[in-house]
Homo-oligomer: A and B are copies of this chain.
Amino acid sequence: MSETEALLDRAAELDKADELGKLREQFVLDEVVYLDGNSLGALPRAVPGRVADVVQREWGRLRIRSWTESGWWTAPERIGDRIAPLVGAAAGQIVVGDSTSVNVFKAVVGVVRLAGGGRDEILVDEATFPTDGYIAESAARMTGCTLRPLAPADMPGAVGPRTAAALVNHVDYRTGRLHDLPGITAAVHEAGALAVWDLCHSAGALPVGLDEHGVDLAVGCTYKFLNGGPGSPAYLYVAERHQAAFDSPLPGWNSHAEPFGMRPGYTPADGALRGRVGTPDILSMLALEESLTVWDGVSVAAVREKSLALTDFFLECVAAYVPAGSVSSITPEVHAERGSQVALRCDGAAIVMDELIARGVVGDFRAPDVLRFGFTPLYVGFAEVERAARVLGEVLRAER
């Protein structure tokens, strides 16, 4: 039996044993091997019908009545409660709305204010997805703080009496490294500071445990492993113990205790909805709500187990198919440090990715030399993983 035949057999066995495999039917997919769900999740089959109903009936026929009759007004907190169990949060702590960037601003200003005076330093993940760093810099400037970029692993040793907060990515967008959320959060708390976690690349792929690990505030997008659609609204988690003192820098009317009182003075609402700002973006928000129905009855632990099996198998297939020395993985081998993607450094990575896409294997390129492959356990199968690695081997041999 050739190595290829053996890996094909293994893939078939793994797919046969995959209890999440049936979920693939709930998505619109085709012959393309789609390994870019960590950038834009695939379309859940239920979404087009719901969106059509929202547009044609709720907007088109009920019009203004839908703000109450179709539950538009309460969507941000209702959908937040739907995301909550996926990130280990009890209900009442998450609201959906705005972009991740805007939520980073609310969160960082919010934690600086919660930390109180005398603390004027913000630690930020030095390899962060750029927007978190740019927005944290603005938040620091506007609150009289300084920003200190650090590797997350160095934060426990660096956090001190001047530190107000640490802003950390749970999974690094580039390398796929999973940072130690429980350990870093505990160390930050030990020094009297607060921890804000960006869950963009972890939510929907692995257990987060926001409540269990005492995270203070968190943000995340919904269009990656949560499959909410292009630019679907992000979310903000404010731990219940901080809600009464949470002081948003964006106190829009949707966060008012009595929004339709139209009062000149601002009185914040209680609870998670204090994180709301302006009128929620209903079409995108309700598409997201429908997309979350694919999670009904799905265990995040099972998703994590499959995710690790997928990335393990991909690394094994890459080792078998790819010419020695042509790629090197920057994704940690150790499970405890790996998210749900594999990032391979490679000469001419941009061209290699174009060629992969032309051959029906979709990942993405991240400057300067990274091939990034994301594995969404809800719809990626093992045969696809084998094929992706095999095609990568073919492309790299052709490139030589």
A: residues with CB less than 8 A from B are 28, 30, 34, 36, 39-40, 42-43, 47-48, 51-52, 55-56, 58-61, 63-64, 66-67, 72, 98-102, 105, 109, 126, 129-131, 133-135, 137-138, 142-143, 149, 174, 221, 223, 229-234, 248-254, 256, 260-264, 266, 277-285, 287, 362, 364, 366-367
Contacts and interface: CB of A to CB of B under 8 A. Distances in A.
Given A40-B63, A51-B55, A138 B249 contact: yes
A281 B228 CA distance: 11
Given A28-B60, A364-B64, A130 B263 contact: yes
A376 to B, nearest CB: 12
Contact of A229 (B43, B52, B221, B282): B282
A231 B277 CA distance: 12
B261 A99 contact: no
A58 to B, nearest CB: 8
Contacts of A100: 278-279
B277 A133 contact: no
Contacts of A285: 231
A100 to B, nearest CB: 6
A172 to B, nearest CB: 12
A47 B55 contact: yes
B231 A279 contact: yes
A134 B61 CA distance: 33
Contacts of A102: 98, 102, 250, 252, 277-278
A109 to B, nearest CB: 8
Contact of A142 (B234, B249, B254): B249
25 contacts: A36-B63, A40-B63, A40-B67, A43-B63, A47-B55, A72-B231, A99-B278, A99-B281, A100-B279, A101-B253, A101-B278, A102-B277, A130-B256, A130-B262, A131-B254, A131-B278, A134-B252, A137-B266, A229-B283, A231-B279, A231-B285, A233-B281, A261-B367, A281-B284, A283-B283
A34 B63 contact: yes
Contacts of A131: 252-254, 278
A18 B100 CA distance: 46
Contacts of A279: 99-100, 221, 223, 230-231
A128 to B, nearest CB: 8
A283 B55 CA distance: 11
A252 B283 contact: no
Contacts of A251: 134-135, 137-138
Contact of A252 (B64, B99, B221, B231): B99
A44 to B, nearest CB: 9
B52 A64 contact: no
B278 A287 contact: no
A39 B55 contact: no
Contacts of A278: 98-102, 131, 234
A339 B247 CA distance: 36
B40 A64 contact: yes
A40 B231 CA distance: 22
A250 B105 contact: yes
B134 A366 contact: no
A59 B39 contact: no
